[in-house]
Structure 1
């Protein structure tokens, strides 16, 4: 069996609030291997986005261990985590976080250029399959929400990362547009050979992925 791309063992995370310390994750275990797709479900406040941020190295766990591509994130400094994230992961958020001063084509290539892995042929394929060829010279403000989502998906995939982390990636879209965006993302993820961890509230969308897991009260429960 290939080694997991992402592994969480006994992960604990809490935050200080005006009402005191709030424990979000209470010992979470998770494993995701190459080519796997996993939907992470749960109610608002259950810790889904917190776990995704920890997996990306955007935040640090209080206890337990997270490994990304074999590296223990807790043993790395901020700069090392950023490098590991840049070289191995693609991030898709509910808020698209496109760069307003860059065109569609420049936004698509941004992550790939950062890590020195811009592949012109793959970029052209992404642009075509995402239906963005005629929009390549436009800026984000001139795009619809669905078009911006396609750019965000393409940007995450452009560097052909090993792992895609997606937080409610269709949350700002209507049902039809969301279904179409997810279908495209799954198709492109499969084409690139990446693994996908997707946070979603929707059982219907979760059913499109190969595996499902649920966070309840900070721990994993049967999906």
Structure 2
């Protein structure tokens, strides 16, 4: 998966937990890259470190060694305020539990990330609203939406700022199969439209098979 001008580049990454004799190495020597427009499924057994790896790629955590570069910026060299700025400007995050702002309606939640990044685009938000099947729901609040609708808002929020990289952690994990498949179809279509790179953590072999590339994390190594 090595290409020039990679959106995400991970070099010789290592992460451990605990101290002294109780220290456990989750992984070490991990290297991979994802170019603009590539969609990669990250699979592995529960506890293998998939979510931790995704958090490192987002700059939500820092590695013990190695580096993570997003759009040419080395997160490993940045302090938290600077990493937060990269997340705001370059990365869209989609979580299993939606993480919508309960006090904001659909329209405000969807445009939230773009406004933080200083790139509000009413036309693009309107297109996302239509593509995601949210037209007519703009004034509803998260508690008034189904799980599938909430996840569609979360996907729209992640894409509204046109980020370079989308990181999704089990984005259909709380949905039934039909809703999950619909959300997955929308996510892949919109990511392809924007040309963003996508890394998606999933435990589902069926969903992983829908992405053209896969990384499998097992015993601290990628295959």
User: Against the structure 1 CA distance between its residues 181 and 17, is the aligned structure 2 distance closer, same or farther, given a 3 Å change threshold?
Assistant: farther
Which whole-Å deviations, capped at 9, do the CAs of 1:71-113 have from their partners, x for residues lacking one? Answer: 1111111111110111001000111100000000000000000
The alignment partner of 1:197 has SS state of strand
Aligned partners of 2:42, 2:17: CA distance in 1, in Å? 21
Residue of structure 1 equivalent to 2:148? 146
Identify the match of residue 6 of structure 2 among 4, 7, 16. 4
Q: Paired residue for 1:28?
A: 30
- Find the counterpart in structure 2 of residue 119 from structure 1: 121
- Which residue of structure 1 lines up, in the alignment, with residue 199 of structure 2? 197
Paired residue secondary structure (1:214) = strand
The SS at the match of 1:134 is coil
> C-alpha distance in 2, partners of 1:74/1:170?
30
The residue that corresponds to 2:208 in the other structure is 206
Separation (CA, whole Å) in 2 of partners of 1:67 and 1:102: 32
Structure 1 CA distance, aligned partners of 2:221 and 2:12?
10
Equivalent in the alignment of 1:91: 93
CA distance in 1, matches of 2:64, 2:125: 39
Number of residue equivalences: 221
Residue 186 of structure 1 corresponds to: 188
Residue of structure 2 equivalent to 1:173: 175
Q: Answer whether contact 1:108 1:123 (CA < 8 A) is retained.
A: yes
Output the aligned Cα RMSD: 1.3
How high is the TM-score relative to the length of structure 2?
0.96
**Equivalent in 63, 66, 74 of residue 64 of structure 1:** 66
The offset of 1:141, in angstroms, is 0.6
CA contact (8 A) 1:2 1:34 kept: no
CA–CA distance in structure 2, aligned partners of residues 52 and 77 of structure 1: 18
Structure 2: runs of 5 or more not aligned: none
List alignment gaps of at least 5 residues for structure 1: none
The alignment's TM-score, normalised by the length of structure 1, stands at 0.96
